[in-house]
Amino acid sequence: MMSMSGSVWINVCESSADAYGALLMQELQRVSPGLRIMGMGGRAMRRQGLETVYRAEDLSLVGLTEVITALPRIAGYLREIKRLLRRERPGVLVLMDAPDFNFRLAREAHSLGIPVIYYIAPQVWAWRKSRIKFLQRFVHRVACIFPFEQDFFLRRGVVARYVGHPLLDLIPLPEMEHIAPQQNRVALLPGSRKKEIASLLPVFTDVAYKLSLKRPDLSLGIVQAPGVDSDFLKHHTRDLPCLEFVSPDERHSYLKSCSMALAVSGTITLECAILDVPAIVAYKVSWPSYLAGRMLIDVPYISMPNLILGKGIFPEFIQNRAKPEELLQAAGDWLDHPRRLTEVRQELTRVKDLLGKKTATRNTAEMIMQAMYAG
């Protein structure tokens, strides 16, 4: 079959990156009407017209043991996508996060002469720095979403450019300027992965219940991430009269109205920072995954706002510390001392300044089109 050089393959393996993929598709379709976009994505990308090979939500895994049990299915996906890359020969392969899966596709594309753009790069500055050599050899360009990444990659021989963070494209900040935080409103943010939800949502709702016993006027909302089934959330939730469920479409305006949040570690902590919402961060995985991570991770914090600011502005409770008693104490301390919440919000204003302007989607689309038509 002839090469389909006028097409783009986008590979998204995480539901959390699906919204960014949909924005990128929208921009690519704007600058190149009729462009064929194939690949793997979530619900937002499918709504945007992705020719879907596999669904991102089928690979939203976390932790070593979870991945091991899914290995036969993952191997099947890889075989089929490699076969389709050989058949379709897209003009560019765009990879988003998920290096354990996407690196195998990068190697295949490189062998076929297909340029690879890595958008939302592997966090090799935090762990597994050996992957830098892979990026040097098999990736055409890295589109960095954090300002410190560009210098890190360039100094190590990886062609990289800071494009901005796509959350600034995704969150309609001007529409929310009128929303003020309500002192008695707290958000519960259990994330998008089933394993995380099953592990931490019962902890969050236990904390919520104990907080509400002392504060009868407390309003609590579980924010449903895109791609997460509401029945699955309810299955892992205590039945509390003060608890409501917030839909994905309302999550940003609701978060903006909260005085604070309990959040699983992940992209949602950066959303909190951009919306000026103080968050208490929790993270828990299987013990084999945790022990492996401790040996490999080389950063002082797990939440991105803390890494960007270089200080622990969001309290972090990892593994055996991610339990109701510790989270309750931290949340109660913030609610009892509103001035501390105000001080955290003042610190968070620096995060938006450091991330820059709303340019990530446009800049990445330009990088893709240049790679497609170079030479």
Number of domains in the chain: 2
pLDDT score for 286: 58
pLDDT tens sequence across 175-228: 999 999 999 999 999 998 888 899 999 999 999 999 999 998 999 999 998 878
Query: Distance between CA 350 and CA 172 in Å, rounded?
Result: 18
pLDDT score for 239: 76
Q: Say yes or no: 147 and 275 in one domain.
A: no
pLDDT score for 340: 95
Q: Say yes or no: 120 and 226 in one domain.
A: no
Q: Say yes or no: 140 and 193 in one domain.
A: no
Query: Distance between CA 62 and CA 53 in Å, rounded?
Result: 22
Q: Is residue 2 part of a domain?
A: no
3-state SS, the chain, equals CCCCCCEEEEEECCHHHHHHHHHHHHHHHHHCCCCEEEEEECHHHHHCCCEEEEEHHHHCCCCHHHHHHCHHHHHHHHHHHHHHHHHHCCCEEEEECCHHHHHHHHHHHHHCCCCEEEECCCCCCCCCCCHHHHHHHHCCEEEECCHHHHHHHHCCCCCEEECCCCHHHHCCHHHHCCCCCEEEEEEEECCCCHHHHHHHHHHHHHHHHHHHHHCCCCEEEEECCCCCCHHHHHHCCCCCCCEEEECHHHHHHHHHCEEEEEEECCHHHHHHHHCCCCEEEEECCCHHHHHHHHHHCCCCCCCHHHHHHCCCCCCEEEHHHCCHHHHHHHHHHHHHCHHHHHHHHHHHHHHHHHHCCCCHHHHHHHHHHHHHHCC
pLDDT score for 193: 82
Q: Say yes or no: 86 and 194 in one domain.
A: no
pLDDT score for 353: 86
pLDDT score for 147: 85
CATH number at residue 95: 3.40.50.2000
Reported pTM: 0.84
Query: Distance between CA 182 and CA 49 in Å, rounded?
Result: 39
Q: Is residue 369 part of a domain?
A: yes
Q: Is residue 29 part of a domain?
A: yes
Mean pLDDT by 10 residues, the chain (375 residues): 67 88 97 96 95 85 59 90 96 93 96 96 77 95 92 94 94 92 95 88 94 92 89 85 88 97 94 97 70 55 89 93 95 95 94 86 96 80
Give the residue carrying structure tokens 């903006």.
256
pLDDT score for 255: 97
Q: Say yes or no: 136 and 253 in one domain.
A: no
pLDDT score for 230: 87
What residues are paired with 186 via a beta bridge?
Answer: 220, 260
3-state SS, 320-333, equals HHCCHHHHHHHHHH
What residues are paired with 261 via a beta bridge?
Answer: 187, 279
pLDDT score for 72: 86
Give the residue carrying structure tokens 């969150």.
171
Structural tokens at position 335: 């609610």
Q: Is residue 51 part of a domain?
A: yes
Q: Say yes or no: 253 and 328 in one domain.
A: yes
Q: Say yes or no: 225 and 265 in one domain.
A: yes
Single-letter residue type at 119: Y
Count of CB atoms situated within 10 Å of the CB of 345: 18
Give the residue carrying structure tokens 């236990």.
206
Structural tokens at position 94: 């765009």
Q: Say yes or no: 137 and 226 in one domain.
A: no
Give the residue carrying structure tokens 């993270």.
283
Query: Distance between CA 277 and CA 261 in Å, rounded?
Result: 7
Task: Find out whether 152 and 142 touch, Cβ atoms under 8 Å.
Answer: no
280: containing domain: 173-355
Query: Distance between CA 131 and CA 103 in Å, rounded?
Result: 9
Q: Say yes or no: 146 and 72 in one domain.
A: yes
Q: Say yes or no: 146 and 189 in one domain.
A: no
Q: Say yes or no: 181 and 137 in one domain.
A: no
Q: Say yes or no: 61 and 181 in one domain.
A: no
Q: Is residue 277 part of a domain?
A: yes
